[in-house]
């Protein structure tokens, strides 16, 4: 539940909301990938749920409800959905604890450490890296759901600093700030379902990170509670008093402790975001245009460049709505030199912020296609993951991978990752989250989902391993904003080195000496892609 809205089991988002795959997209996938049989939706009746193991009284009651435990067993990765749909999730937390104060978080953690009970901190549960997944094992385990820690603690309007408890969800943060004339500006795709604490634990980035920065820039101070440690980092605009300990917590994925509150940098609410589309003549020209926009510091809040294939699929998604208009637009575009190699760039800004980028893109052969693609993207910006469920209903599995790299490597890197997928897998790519020195690449791939969950998981794991290897070989980071979780952990050492890993292990050991906190994410290199 978030407010009065009920979350769906084994699918994205809320009951009653859907984004149904349009027929042109299904025809396209059918043509490319062949026909596939749909997977049934998740049904609680399909699960044989073992009774919870007993827990010490010091932990308080918590919830032992089978459905509540099931809802806290897995995140939102593709194979989480497959296993929840097929009733093959067997490892559940023994209880869901919902502390009502930050001190209660601390006492729960101490009691769990004393009793050897493992703890998985739970924000919105939207991890796509296995970051909140319960693994089969003998130790008792609880899910620590922070949903009751969800209030504004303080707003310093002059400094633009807002302190929230960590369990506050995105829409609540914006509603509370909006009522006072402010915005945080952090809008990840999971915005409606994810929390401040989850963003911090995973170093999340919002879609408007170009204008506002990722969560690592937005967090000015934070509090952490751990079984054997406690941090309360004050909100300074900057400090040279030793290393920046906030940056050790950001991305620690629960291994170091539980973030209970954070002070974030907020801004006066600007006029609404305007997003407009431009077609660039090629992927390479688009990347150069994006680079120039960012390096010249044109005042954009958002920039996304789709490759030609993703541009085509986006058009398919739109086609079902107004075919006649679309045919006219396409004819006009072809008259202006737009081809099947054209790549759509969306630029978003407030006020007259789009002018400078438009001029830059014109010099790169850009053809403006007006506000309609941007309006459509804005309308669906938090709904796109629902499409994944609809496609799975039709038998097509979809997953995403993302990375970031310097500008000089992006084109080669995108090509390497595309080639890592065997034919006829459909792979789309876009550039987003651009920085002066580089950008992230985001890949979406589609394959026919085997009906058998083990087969489906093995197929996905095979593709994921190949694509991740290509990302690292191409000089990209293991993740720009999804995090490491359980599934990327086998590659974490190759990114930070043996001694980098050791630094994080040491920090975790200082705060959680018995290793009860989310023990398989980030630092456990076991390959669990097929679990």
Q: Which of 20, 320, 356, 435 binds its own copies (CB under 8 A)?
A: 435
Rg (alpha carbons) of the chain, rounded to whole number: 23
Q: Which of 484, 486, 516, 529 binds its own copies (CB under 8 A)?
A: 484
Taking the mean position of all CA atoms in its chain, how far away is CA 54?
34
Q: Does residue 526 touch its own copies according to CB under 8 A?
A: no
Dihedral over alpha carbons 509, 513, 519, 524 (to 10 degrees): 40
Count of residues that bind its own copies according to CB under 8 A: 85
Inter-residue contact 487 to 194 (CB < 8 Å): no
Inter-residue contact 434 to 381 (CB < 8 Å): no
285-314 residues in contact with its own copies (CB under 8 A) are 291, 295, 297, 299
Q: Does residue 454 touch its own copies according to CB under 8 A?
A: no
Q: Give the N- to C-terminal CA distance of the chain in Å, as an integer.
A: 27
Q: Which of 65, 236, 330, 424 binds its own copies (CB under 8 A)?
A: 236
Q: Which of 57, 242, 271, 272 binds its own copies (CB under 8 A)?
A: 242
Which lies closer to its own copies via its Cβ, residue 25 or residue 166?
Answer: 166
Q: Which of 16, 57, 136, 234 binds its own copies (CB under 8 A)?
A: 234
What are the tokens at 16?
Answer: 């009653």
Which lies closer to its own copies via its Cβ, residue 231 or residue 516?
Answer: 231
CB of 135 to its own copies, least distance (A): 20
For 60: left if phi > 0, alpha if psi spans -120 to 50, otherwise beta; the answer is left
Entry field: residues in the chain: 531
Q: Does residue 158 touch its own copies according to CB under 8 A?
A: yes
Other CB atoms within 10 A of residue 31 CB: 10
Which lies closer to its own copies via its Cβ, residue 358 or residue 501?
Answer: 501
CB of 436 to its own copies, least distance (A): 6
Q: Does residue 16 touch its own copies according to CB under 8 A?
A: no
Q: Which of 39, 42, 231, 274 binds its own copies (CB under 8 A)?
A: 231
Inter-residue contact 275 to 378 (CB < 8 Å): yes
Q: Does residue 153 touch its own copies according to CB under 8 A?
A: no
Which lies closer to its own copies via its Cβ, residue 213 or residue 373?
Answer: 213
487-516 residues in contact with its own copies (CB under 8 A) are 488, 492, 495-497, 499-500, 502-504, 506-507, 509-511
Burial class (CB in 10 A: 0-12, 13-18, 19+), 390: buried
CA-based nearest residue to 348, from 429, 404, 278: 278
Q: Which of 355, 380, 436, 530 binds its own copies (CB under 8 A)?
A: 436
CB of 227 to its own copies, least distance (A): 12
The string of DSSP codes covering 401-421 is EEEEEEHHHHHHHHHHHHHHS
Q: Does residue 477 touch its own copies according to CB under 8 A?
A: yes
Which lies closer to its own copies via its Cβ, residue 266 or residue 308?
Answer: 266
Which lies closer to its own copies via its Cβ, residue 362 or residue 502?
Answer: 502
**Binding flags for its own copies, 187-206, as an x/- string (CB under 8 A):** ---------------xxxx-
Inter-residue contact 373 to 314 (CB < 8 Å): yes
CB of 81 to its own copies, least distance (A): 22
Q: What phi and psi, each to the nearest 5 degrees, are found at residue 328?
A: -65, -45
Other CB atoms within 10 A of residue 33 CB: 18
CB of 488 to its own copies, least distance (A): 7
Burial class (CB in 10 A: 0-12, 13-18, 19+), 269: middle
Which lies closer to its own copies via its Cβ, residue 88 or residue 295?
Answer: 295
364-423 residues in contact with its own copies (CB under 8 A) are 404-409
């Amino acid at each position: 539940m978030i407010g009065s809205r009920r979350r769906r089991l084994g699918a994205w988002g809320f009951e009653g909301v859907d984004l149904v795959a349009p027929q042109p997209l299904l025809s396209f996938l059918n043509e490319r990938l062949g026909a596939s049989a749909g997977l049934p939706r998740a049904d609680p009746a399909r699960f044989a749920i073992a009774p919870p193991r007993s827990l010490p009284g010091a932990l308080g009651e918590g919830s032992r409800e089978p459905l509540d435990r099931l809802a806290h067993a897995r995140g939102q990765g593709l194979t989480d959905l497959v296993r929840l749909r097929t009733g093959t999730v067997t490892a559940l937390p023994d209880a869901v604890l919902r502390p009502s104060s930050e001190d209660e978080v601390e006492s729960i953690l101490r009691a769990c450490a004393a009793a050897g009970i493992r703890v998985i901190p739970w924000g919105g549960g939207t991890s796509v890296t296995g970051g909140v997944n319960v693994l089969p094992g003998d130790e008792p385990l609880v899910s620590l759901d922070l949903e009751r820690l969800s209030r504004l603690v303080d707003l310093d309007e002059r400094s633009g600093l807002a302190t929230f408890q960590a369990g506050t969800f995105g829409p609540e943060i914006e509603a509370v700030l909006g009522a006072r004339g402010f915005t945080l500006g952090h809008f990840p795709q999971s915005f409606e379902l994810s929390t401040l604490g989850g963003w911090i634990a995973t170093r999340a980035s919002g879609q408007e990170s170009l204008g506002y920065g990722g969560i690592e820039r937005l967090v000015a101070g934070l509090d952490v509670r751990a079984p054997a440690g406690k941090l309360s980092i004050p909100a300074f605009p900057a400090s040279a008093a030793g290393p920046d300990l906030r940056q050790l917590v950001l991305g620690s994925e629960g291994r170091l402790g539980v973030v209970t509150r954070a002070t974030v940098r907020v801004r006066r609410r600007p006029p609404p975001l305007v997003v407009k589309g431009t077609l660039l003549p090629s992927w390479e020209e688009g990347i150069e245009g994006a680079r120039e926009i960012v390096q010249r510091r044109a005042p954009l809040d958002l920039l996304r460049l789709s490759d030609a294939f993703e541009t085509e699929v986006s058009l398919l998604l739109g086609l079902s709505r107004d075919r006649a208009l679309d045919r006219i637009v396409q004819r006009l575009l072809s008259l202006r030199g737009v081809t099947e190699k054209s790549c759509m760039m969306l630029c978003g800004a407030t006020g007259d912020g789009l002018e400078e980028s438009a001029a830059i893109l014109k010099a790169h052969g850009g053809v403006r296609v007006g506000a309609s693609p941007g309006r459509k993207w804005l309308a669906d910006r938090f709904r796109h993951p629902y499409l994944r469920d609809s496609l799975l209903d039709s038998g097509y599995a979809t997953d995403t991978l993302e990375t970031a790299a310097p500008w000089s490597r992006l084109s080669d890197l995108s090509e390497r990752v595309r080639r890592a997928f065997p034919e006829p897998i459909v792979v789309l790519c876009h550039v987003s989250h651009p920085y002066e020195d580089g950008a992230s690449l985001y890949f979406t791939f589609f394959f026919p989902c085997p009906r058998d969950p083990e087969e489906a998981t093995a197929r996905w794991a095979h593709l994921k391993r190949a694509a991740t290897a290509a990302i690292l070989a191409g000089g990209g980071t293991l993740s720009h904003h999804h995090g490491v979780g359980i599934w990327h952990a086998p590659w974490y050492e190759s990114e930070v080195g043996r001694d980098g890993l050791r630094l994080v292990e040491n920090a975790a050991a200082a705060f959680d000496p018995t290793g009860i906190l989310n023990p398989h994410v980030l630092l456990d290199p076991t390959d669990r892609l097929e679990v």
